[in-house]
Amino acid sequence: MVEIELDGQKVEIAEGCMVMHAAEKAGTYIPHFCYHKKLSIAANCRMCLVEVEKAPKPMPACATPVTQGMVVRTKSDKAIQAQKSVMEFLLINHPLDCPICDQGGECQLQDLAVGYGGTSSRYEEEKRVVFHKDVGPLISMEEMSRCIHCTRCVRFGQEVAGVMELGMIHRGEHSEITTVTGDTIDSELSGNMIDICPVGALTSKPFRYSARTWELSRRKSISPHDSTGANLVVQVKNHKVMRVLPFENEDVNECWIADRDRFSYEALNSAERLTRPMLKQGGVWSEVDWQTALEYIANGLQQIKKDHGANKIGALVSPHSTLEELYLARALVQGLGSNNIDYRLRNAEFATQHGVNWLGCSIASLSALQSVLVVGSNLRKDHPLFAQRVRQAARKGAVVTAIASVVRDWAMPVAHTLVAQSNAWVQALADVAAAVAQAKGVVAPQPQGQAGEVAQAIAQALLSGERKAVLLGNAAAHHAQASNLLALAQWIGENTGATVGYLTEAANTVGAQWVGAMPTAEGLNAAQMLAGGLRCALLLNTEPQWDSAVGAQAVAALGKVDMVITMSPFKANMEFSDVLLPIAPFTETSGSFINAEGRVQSFHAVVKPLGETRPGWKVLRVLGNLLGLSNFDFETSQEILTKAVNVPSGGLLDMSTRRVQAQTLTSPAQAGEPVVASIYQLDGIVRRATSLQLTADARLASGEVPA
């Protein structure tokens, strides 16, 4: 530790830290633009100039290392004058368009100009003009004349997103931030560039000119998409979601969110929203009141139970639903006497599971891994924020290895990739296990394993270091031989000291397992239900055509079911449904998600429900009451949460008691290609987000642009 004097205050700070870090620790604010705690130091804005005793001139606080006995003054005349001079320089070419700038009200330049800017400019020449650029549907670069060349966006791309999509060309006054040869910005984390831009050079294209920041109410929420459980700030005006920003949580998403977390809100205000219950009679849809719709469903369920038995009633539920909705859906189905409920619509294997498949370690620990093997995942697109964590580990020297069908660009160095068709992944993992067994002198779990060169390199990486993990992706979870893959992964983990876990697909995949949204031994699984084994199907937040492994075949199968009930925020499944119930999306209901590491995160509604939309848990509770089922007397979502997990919001579930044990290896079955949703097809909200569907990733998935 080094002790310095900062504005007369003694501060102890680790050796190698900068004056800026000492000031942060002391609670002293030093004005800055280019410095950001998550990015490398550039020291090119010079706004953080401070007076250092015995130094001949003011020094940048962000780039001046602390030394023992250093005396720093941040508010002396010399420091203030230097900061004012820099501010004058930055404002020379800055346009006077604050009244129409989207950054107004949250602009660092605007804020600091009040304290350090002059009343008028001495500059009388022509101002620099930078032509606007079209960089895609998410980020606006229409006013690049506002840019102060802090290079935050450039460094973010290089260091966090892993893709240098922006760079600076020319020199001096002619410097310009631009893409390479007019390319678009296609990173799945690109929206974070808007947040870190200290001026109005990069702004949100969907939000552009829609509201002023001071008109917006700010409310906390949780992302309903992937298993990170990113913390959000949802900004609201007139009971309408206008913008979504990250809420900093170092344990979960740090200060970043993925683009699908940021821009998916567009779907919440789309024309596809379902605002009133609807019944189909004689092939014609008509709007009805809630009482009529719920009585129709209750009578239908009772009739089908009487005529065909409760085992002909089933529920297909989405792991993007809240924990409370999943808990009550299971209680409803079981209350009727059925065990047909499943969230695993994309799975190809449905082995009896005792326990919970989860990440196997904390999300934060991904940044500190020394070795990681990723099996069956397009890590960058399936889990952008997990990929960002692993990317930081790779920057620190971690060895990243993979088993995959094709080599994909993860925007990080991947040391070894064992390329094999999906039906050969079990063999590939057995080869790695054989290499581990050979290195340790133990018996391999599968005799047919062959320790090839790549398998040996992966095994060696897992055997070295202390912090390591084997992570199974969405394709591995949906694989026809998922149990075999898990068994081999667990054997490798036990023999290398690596943690083993699933990246898990959806916001509540872990939660769905925890509350038992899966069939017991005598119940039908998702594949069996979609094969036509039901007389009545309840679809909670899911569209089987897009969300299931069978795809379009689900439409034909469900079309033969006597009664299909769809509970969704959108006009979904209209082709084969008999009744539609408008349930609230995550912004209009209270609820909880359990992320990949088992963290329970609750949230409240941020806006009023649209039209006659109702929270899903309330609809299920009322339906349970109409059917005369017991234990459906909940008044709040919090009561359901307490009943389901008894862990407060923000707490971690004890996964040690619910760990899935590897099953006995079965003989290899014929494995088809696992069904995995593309980045902007993951759930109904993302699919309906207009701007996200215009991105390169979305167009590639739809076949509009070549791979």
For residue range 169-222, what is the model confidence (pLDDT) as tens digits?
A: 998 888 999 997 778 999 999 999 999 999 999 999 999 999 999 999 999 999
Asked whether the beta carbons of 529 and 505 are under 8 A apart, the reply is: no
Residues of the chain with pLDDT under 50: none
The answer, as to whether pTM is greater than 0.85, is yes
Helix extents (H) in 141-276: 152-156, 192-196, 259-263
- Beta strand pairing status for 313-317 and 536-540? parallel
Predicted pLDDT at 646: 84
Neighbours of 1 (CB within 10 A): 9
Predicted pLDDT at 650: 85
Phi, psi of 179 (to 5 degrees): -85, 170
Select from 109, 240, 260 the least CA-distant residue to 189: 260
Asked whether the beta carbons of 359 and 663 are under 8 A apart, the reply is: no
Predicted pLDDT at 446: 82
The owner of tokens 């023992």 is 68
- 470-485: pLDDT as tens digits: 999 999 999 999 999 9
Predicted pLDDT at 671: 59
**Tokens linked to 112:** 């600091």
Predicted pLDDT at 665: 52
Asked whether the beta carbons of 141 and 132 are under 8 A apart, the reply is: yes
Asked whether the beta carbons of 290 and 612 are under 8 A apart, the reply is: yes
DSSP letter for 160, please: I
Asked whether the beta carbons of 566 and 580 are under 8 A apart, the reply is: yes
Predicted pLDDT at 83: 95
Neighbours of 694 (CB within 10 A): 15
Predicted pLDDT at 444: 87
Predicted pLDDT at 434: 94
- Rounded distance between C-alpha atoms, residue 632 and residue 253, angstroms: 35
